[in-house]
Amino acid sequence: MKSEHFVGFFGSGSPDLLFRIHFRPFVYTKVKEILSLKVTTQTYAIWCYIYQRLVSAHTVSIINDIIKTRNTRAFGELCSKMYHRLVGYVTVPLLKCLMHDKNMPPKSNYFKCVLCSKCTKPKERATVNKDITKYLRRKFLIEAKDGDIICNKCRHIFRKERDHKVLPCVKTSKSSSQTTATFSPPSVSLKIPSTSKSHAYCCICKKPGPKLIVISPDVRTATYVDNNILIPSGNRCCPNHICDGHLNDDALCRIKTTDESFVNRTYLLEIMNKMRKKIRESASRRLNFDDSNLSEPDYITMTGLSKINFSEVCSTLKSSVRRAFNSVRQAFMSEFVPANLGFQHISREEVIQKHTRPLAQSMFGGIASNNAILVLDGTYIYVDKSNNFHFQRRSYSTHKGRPLVKPMIVCTTTGYYVSVLGPYLADYRNNDASILTHMLKTNVEEIRDWVNEEDIFVLDRGFRDAIPLLEDLGIQAEMPRFLKKGDKQFSTEDANMSRLVTKIRWIVESSNARIKTWKYLSHTLPTNQIPFIGDFVRIVCALSNKYAQPLSQCRDVESDQLEAAKMIHLSKMSNTLKEHVETENLLKKKLIWKVASECDFENFPRLDDQELRNITCGVYQMKLASSYIQEYTDEESDIFVHREDSNLLRIKIQSRHTSSKKHQLWIRYNESYIDSWYCLCRAGARVVGACSHVAAVLWYLGKELYKDKSVSYGVRNWGEHVFRCKCAA
């Protein structure tokens, strides 16, 4: 139907005037709404005719929805239903004209949001107004047209920014399982490793879904803080990759990252807010072991125990015990310590079978022997100076030059604590020998009933005055030899036997060091804590027995026995090079030596770490080698070679204790192995292992000589930053 026919039907004049004349006021209002939608004149007539003829509440409600949504399909269905109800010869032509109107919205539009392109439902959209049009043009360079649709979510974002001045976000997530947070386009390139963005498969192991979980913001923040890896929001991973709010070690090893990442303003703001929140929580949070946010390293750092072991310790205490210091100490001493420390908590047979190394058994007792081997030594716990003068005198150690108390440690050759006795005073009346004598005579913890005859105590020289008592009890004492009066060097036999003892006795020194790893005991304690020092040391030792690994373990019984047999065999040998030096008077002869060049070392055997350990019979000498060589190379000292015997070397090594002393040593070798060595230091005549000076030269000539010359040895000389006095002559 043409527009002139429409005008003729209703009369002449403008359409607006015709509407005012022929229709009621509420119809005119509806027509004005339609006018704002830019619909054709024929459409106006259809709407007006329907509103005038059918004024029932149900029909008006349906037509109101059609006006709001501009749903042409629903309008067509409504017109079909009312076809036979409408009276008048004009209605049918008008409806047919409407159905073929080319100015109606296309059916393929689907009412997509102009900002996020999401298809919207009738109740989830609105028409773009002038304010939203300006907002889209200013923030996103989007030119919205009249009649464009915006979804409720994007419209709420616009209102939020307008009302609260919040940074804008752009595109909402299309997944219903994700949060409703929106993101601006990636615009910043950072030199930070980042994982690939994926929601369909695991971003760590690339395993597809569906059993994947979205990586939470806390986990993503922790990964960035701990490992400097950015994980895009919305990424998913397998549940087994996350443990206690962090990616586990296996996940961190398998994760693949790019060299740089592209992030948007929203993500940067999220990271900054998370880190700020984490810092504020860390600053205000008190130590609480009931907090599940404490990680495994936190437990180990603060308690020395793993999370599982700490829970087990707490479960052994009474449930009524609160976290009060004295109450916990008393609970430990009444329940936990007696079950894990003391001569009564373990039998002698169990010590022999489970806590004695075959190396020590073969070296001192014999392979078939059934002797218990215990290592004893005192350790020091430093205390403040007391105003009680009597205690001040009795607690002052002339050896250490400061006040202290001495717990006596009794352990096995694997580092297992059998008992802790004391603590004792530190004056001359309470030396190691006096403490051991007191222990045996008073039968502390029934020690005399626990040990048997021919059991072995490994001691240091401070226990020498207790040897007669041990012999009366039938206990065998193994102790380093004493230097004879007037001698400056141990004989080869004494040096060899002393090395056999130190090969076993080092374990008690490491046991004492393990106690000091608990920071409270490594510091100087106030005098009001002296009554509890013994309890603290016992608690630490009991925890170490229960949960810590042995300090010295036997990996192979046969290798332990072979090493013991080798050392015993060497201890019975004499030092042939020492005899040669003394016979030929090589110490005083100087003309028979020449400065060695690198060509003279071409036949020196190449030595690896294992061969060096076989020569030294341990690792302690190798730890000092680099520091000795550092001072040797700084002073530009020379190595001398014998003019007639090219396989005999003479070297001088600076003493690490005395500036005015240099140790002179000799080494004889051939192309395949080191034949012999001799040093003028106190223990340099031994053949059971080499002294530190000989080990340093062997390490340098056999391993380090042909490496990069620019590499520095040892530790940096911090004396460069300290002033020294230059007194006038």
Query: How confident is the model over 685-714, as pLDDT tens digits?
Result: 999 999 999 999 999 888 887 776 666 666
Of 238, 263, 288, the domain-final residue: 263
**Residue 716 backbone zone (phi > 0: left; psi -120 to 50: alpha; other: beta):** beta
Percent of all residues in the chain with a pLDDT value above 90, rounded to a whole number: 32
Q: What is the pLDDT of residue 93?
A: 47
Residue 99 has pLDDT above 80, yes or no: no
Same domain, 427 and 466: yes
Of 263, 286, 311, the domain-final residue: 263
Rg of the chain over Cα atoms, rounded to whole angstroms, equals 45
The total number of structural domains that make up the chain: 5
Same domain, 355 and 479: yes
- Does 303 reside within a domain? no
Q: Is 432 strand, coil or helix? A: helix
For the ranges 336-340, 411-415, 578-582, 704-708, the lowest mean pLDDT is seen at 704-708
3-state SS, one letter per residue, for 57-118: HHHHHHHHHHHHHCCHHHHHHHHHHCCCCCCCCCHHHHHHHHHCCCCCCCHHHCCEECCCCC
Higher model confidence: residue 345 or residue 180?
A: 345
Contacts for 516 with CB less than 8 Å, ≥ 6 apart: 379, 522
Q: Please give the torsion angle defined by the CA atoms of residues 386, 389, 390 and 393, in that order, rounded to the nearest 10 degrees.
A: 80
**pLDDT, tens digit, for every residue of 643-686?**
888 889 999 888 888 888 888 999 999 888 899 999 999 998 99
Terminal Cα-to-Cα distance of the chain (whole angstroms): 126
Q: What is the pLDDT of residue 474?
A: 92
**Can you give the CATH number for the domain in which 410 is found?**
3.30.420.10
- Does 535 reside within a domain? yes
Q: What is the pLDDT of residue 295?
A: 73
Percent of all residues in the chain with a pLDDT value above 70, rounded to a whole number: 76
User: In which residue are the tokens 């806390």 written?
Assistant: 218
- Does 542 reside within a domain? yes
Same domain, 226 and 149: no
Average pLDDT over residues 102-111: 53
**pLDDT, tens digit, for every residue of 600-659?**
788 888 888 889 999 998 888 888 888 888 877 776 667 888 988 888 999 988 888 888
Higher model confidence: residue 230 or residue 60?
A: 230
Residue 444 has pLDDT above 70, yes or no: yes
Same domain, 548 and 594: no
Same domain, 439 and 534: yes
Residue 354 has pLDDT above 80, yes or no: yes
Same domain, 378 and 409: yes
**pLDDT, tens digit, for every residue of 394-422?**
999 998 999 999 999 999 999 999 999 98
**pLDDT, tens digit, for every residue of 488-497?**
899 999 999 9
Same domain, 544 and 585: no
Q: How confident is the model at residue 84 (pLDDT cuts 50, 70, 90)?
A: very low
Average pLDDT over residues 257-275: 78
- Does 564 reside within a domain? no
Between CA 262 and CA 188 the distance in angstroms is 5
Domain of 494?
Answer: 340-559
Q: For the chain, give the number of residues.
A: 729
Contacts for 138 with CB less than 8 Å, ≥ 6 apart: none
Same domain, 376 and 486: yes
- Does 387 reside within a domain? yes
- Does 725 reside within a domain? no
- Does 335 reside within a domain? no
Average pLDDT over residues 373-386: 94
Same domain, 606 and 654: yes
Same domain, 516 and 368: yes
Same domain, 53 and 147: no
Same domain, 589 and 509: no
3-state SS, one letter per residue, for 136-178: HHHHHCCCCCCCCEEEHHHHHHHHHHHHHCCCCCCEECCCCCC
- Does 199 reside within a domain? yes
Q: How confident is the model at residue 95 (pLDDT cuts 50, 70, 90)?
A: very low
Backbone angles phi, psi at 29, to 5 degrees: -60, -45
Q: How confident is the model at residue 378 (pLDDT cuts 50, 70, 90)?
A: very high
